[in-house]
Amino acid sequence: MLAPTETGMGDAYVDLIKRSITNYGYLGGDVPFENYRCVIHYELTEAQWKIDPIARPITLLSKKQLDLIEQCVLSIEARGVPGDFIEAGIWRGGVIILMRALLAANNIKARKVFAADSFAGIPKNVRAKGDPVDQWRDRWIAPLDEVKQNIARFGLLDDRIEFVPGFFADTLPHIGDQKFALMRLDSDSYDSVEESLVYLYPLLSPGGIVIIDDWHLIGCKTAVMNYRARHGITDEIKVHDSNAYWIKS
């Protein structure tokens, strides 16, 4: 099979990946892809998100949030920021598929993609009290075997994806001598976001980018603001379709 870079179809390939992992072809209806998100709404009475279970999208991200990942990868590549990519909180693995596809589409040979998750869902907070995430019925569980199958169906399961299975508090302190250029933190709760920052942010290269998925969630936002205050981080936060991100100075 020809690599997307060899066909000159890298952009089209990445666009098709975005359409596939969101299941836009099935779920999109009349919504233009630019405005698309597979999550329909939050059901307050049942404390869970509504998505069509039959359609089984493999990411919850919107088109614009996926675009942000691509823009960050291209920026990191153009500026030669050293390090790998990581998502902490991967659910069914859609973002890992996109990150791996971006390596292929842009002929990036020297980087890997790390996939960190419990593969058993979001644990309840222990330190934080009153985080609404603890009321969610859906803990976003996706077992490792299922995630690997999802990635394999795109022909992208190979040794350039490193799995870090287990709860962050147990796994991330032992992730080793890694250096990251892009980290995407998507674990929803105060405790989980705090743990991913404590163990991963020191491994982010200067010039590297951190994306925080859940800027609309109070626990997540508070964990980030507390971490920044404790470490005197003043890099400008930008918000893009309810994801926050900044470049590490």
Ligand X SMILES: C[S@@+](CC[C@H](N)C(=O)[O-])C[C@H]1O[C@@H](n2cnc3c(N)ncnc32)[C@H](O)[C@@H]1O
Site residues (vs ligand X, CB under 6 A): 59-61, 87, 89-91, 94-95, 117-118, 121-123, 140, 142, 167-168, 186-188, 192, 195
Q: What percent helix, strand, coil does the chain show, rounded to 5?
A: 40, 20, 40
Q: At what angle do helices 144-153 and 94-105 cross, to 10 degrees?
A: 40
Q: Nearest-5° angle of CA 171, CA 175, CA 179? A: 145
Residue 184 C-beta: closest distance to ligand X, Å: 7
Residue 170 C-beta: closest distance to ligand X, Å: 8
DSSP conformation letters of 56-90: --S----HHHHHHHHHHHHHHHHHT--SEEEEE--
121/207 with CB nearer ligand X: 121
85/168 with CB nearer ligand X: 168
Sign, Cα dihedral of 29, 34, 35, 36: positive
- CB-nearest residue to ligand X: 89
Residue 123 C-beta: closest distance to ligand X, Å: 5
Residue 8 C-beta: closest distance to ligand X, Å: 28
106/118 with CB nearer ligand X: 118
* Residue 38 DSSP class: S
Nearest to 101 by CA among 224, 12, 177: 12
106/125 with CB nearer ligand X: 125
143/207 with CB nearer ligand X: 143
Residue 56 amino acid letter:
R
Residue 167 C-beta: closest distance to ligand X, Å: 4
